[in-house]
């Protein structure tokens, strides 16, 4: 029996996304934690704004940044957001052990198809859009954390304050199979500044045992002046030797992929958390299911301050600063929170939890 297709025939030719991009949130569209954070510097290594992209500053540089999810993007390419690093305190002379970079990490079980460590190992092609007022040489490094192997390639920003597309191909590595698990196997690094311990050797442009002196040879110091800034978007890493067009995903799909690693539950005033109950006269228990199964059992990320939260029950409300912890019954699917400070009630009494001021913030962290 013949099948008749009804509607626009052009729709039939639209290729569904196949998740060829190894990078999650490469268009910088998801930023659960914040859209701008000031004072990002030494001691502030971590995820601050755009999901899945971590800022790292090690050693003792005095460089400080504002990191933000920016709306400055390359024209006509379909992007709405970028990641911006804006220098607010400069360090023109990095110490030998100083390192400044932005990275993202990938689970080993998501990389098995590149066949690393076999004779059929796939080449990888990186493409992205970048912009800075500082022209010169920059380094993108891939580190195999399972086998302590690495490869670095340079790219050049040629025109100041101009969006440029870059494409870099990395050969397949026939040595060192990646672990097939939920731990970090690849660390992918955008270098922004490198002291001598990371830049005094010869740039390692082919796969080999990692020597830190070869990581970022030739890298400019983006942090040497407070007028400096660096933007990136459209980050795509894929198997093969040719860069394809950026793989735009629906916002719900992209968000769900980010939620595997980090999920915000409360980000401000009067938001409802859900139902809870007094286990006894001094302890409230609250359990719920995450929106998306987590990569691993998460840790609790919360802001605690004076009477941040309220438990409404029996025509009254008990205020408290924050939750004690995630219980040992928390899994990758369900969480259980408890609070036992500054509250008093009746065992078995049920009610509901609500955020009480704009400082409230609760999230679950299962990042690599």
Q: What percent of the chain has pLDDT over 70?
A: 95
Cβ–Cβ under 8 Å, residues 150 and 191 = no
Mean pLDDT of 59-75: 97
Looking at domain 12-249, which CATH architecture does it have?
A: Sandwich (2.60)
Residue 227: which pLDDT band, with cuts at 50, 70 and 90? very high
The whole-number pLDDT of residue 4 equals: 38
**Per-residue model confidence as pLDDT tens digits over 105-152:** 999 999 999 999 999 999 999 999 999 999 999 999 999 999 999 999
Mean pLDDT of all residues belonging to the chain: 94
Residue 12: which pLDDT band, with cuts at 50, 70 and 90? very low
Q: In terms of DSSP bridges, do strands 54-58 and 82-89 run parallel, antiparallel, or are they unpaired?
A: unpaired
Which residue carries 């995630």 as its tokens?
A: 326
CA distance 240 to 126: 10
Residue with more model confidence, 152 or 6 = 152
**Per-residue model confidence as pLDDT tens digits over 157-181:** 999 999 999 999 999 999 999 999 9
CA distance 70 to 82: 5
Mean pLDDT of 184-200: 98
Contacts of 351 (CB under 8 A, 6+ apart): 275, 276, 277, 311, 312, 313, 314
Burial class (CB in 10 A: 0-12, 13-18, 19+), 304: middle
Domain ranges of the chain: 12-249, 262-365
The whole-number pLDDT of residue 42 equals: 81
CA distance 42 to 40: 7
């Amino acid at each position: 029996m013949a099948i008749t297709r009804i509607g626009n025939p052009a729709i039939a030719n639209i290729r569904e996304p196949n998740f060829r991009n190894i990078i999650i949130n490469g268009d910088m569209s998801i930023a659960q934690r914040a859209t701008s954070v000031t004072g990002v510097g030494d001691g502030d290594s971590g995820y601050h704004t755009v999901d899945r992209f971590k800022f790292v500053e090690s050693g003792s540089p005095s460089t400080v940044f504002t990191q933000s999810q920016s709306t400055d993007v390359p024209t006509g390419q379909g992007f709405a957001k970028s990641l911006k690093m804006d220098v607010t305190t400069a360090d023109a002379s990095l110490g030998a052990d100083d390192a400044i970079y932005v990275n993202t990490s990938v689970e080993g079980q998501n990389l098995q198809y590149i066949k690393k460590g076999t004779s059929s190992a796939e080449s990888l092609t990186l493409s992205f859009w970048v912009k800075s007022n500082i022209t010169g040489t920059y380094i993108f490094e891939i580190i195999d954390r399972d086998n302590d192997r690495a490869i670095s390639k340079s790219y050049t920003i040629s025109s100041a304050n101009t969006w440029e597309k870059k494409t870099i191909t990395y050969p397949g590595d026939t040595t060192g199979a990646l672990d097939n698990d939920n731990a970090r196997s690849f660390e992918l690094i955008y270098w922004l500044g490198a002291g001598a311990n990371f830049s005094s050797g010869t740039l390692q442009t082919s796969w080999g045992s990692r020597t830190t002196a070869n990581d970022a040879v030739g890298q400019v110091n983006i942090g040497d002046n407070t007028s400096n800034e660096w933007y990136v978007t459209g980050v795509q890493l894929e198997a093969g030797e040719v860069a394809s067009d950026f793989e735009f995903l629906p916002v719900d799909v992209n968000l769900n992929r980010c939620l595997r690693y980090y999920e915000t539950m409360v980000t401000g005033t009067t938001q409802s958390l859900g139902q809870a109950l007094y286990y006894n006269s001094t302890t409230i228990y609250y359990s719920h299911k995450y929106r998306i199964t987590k990569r691993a059992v998460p840790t609790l990320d919360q802001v605690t301050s004076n009477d941040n939260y309220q438990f409404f029950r029996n025509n009254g409300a008990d205020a408290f600063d924050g939750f004690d912890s995630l219980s040992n019954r928390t899994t990758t699917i369900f969480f259980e929170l408890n609070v036992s400070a500054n509250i008093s009630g009746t065992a078995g009494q049920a009610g509901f939890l609500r955020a009480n001021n704009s400082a409230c913030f609760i999230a679950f962290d299962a990042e690599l």
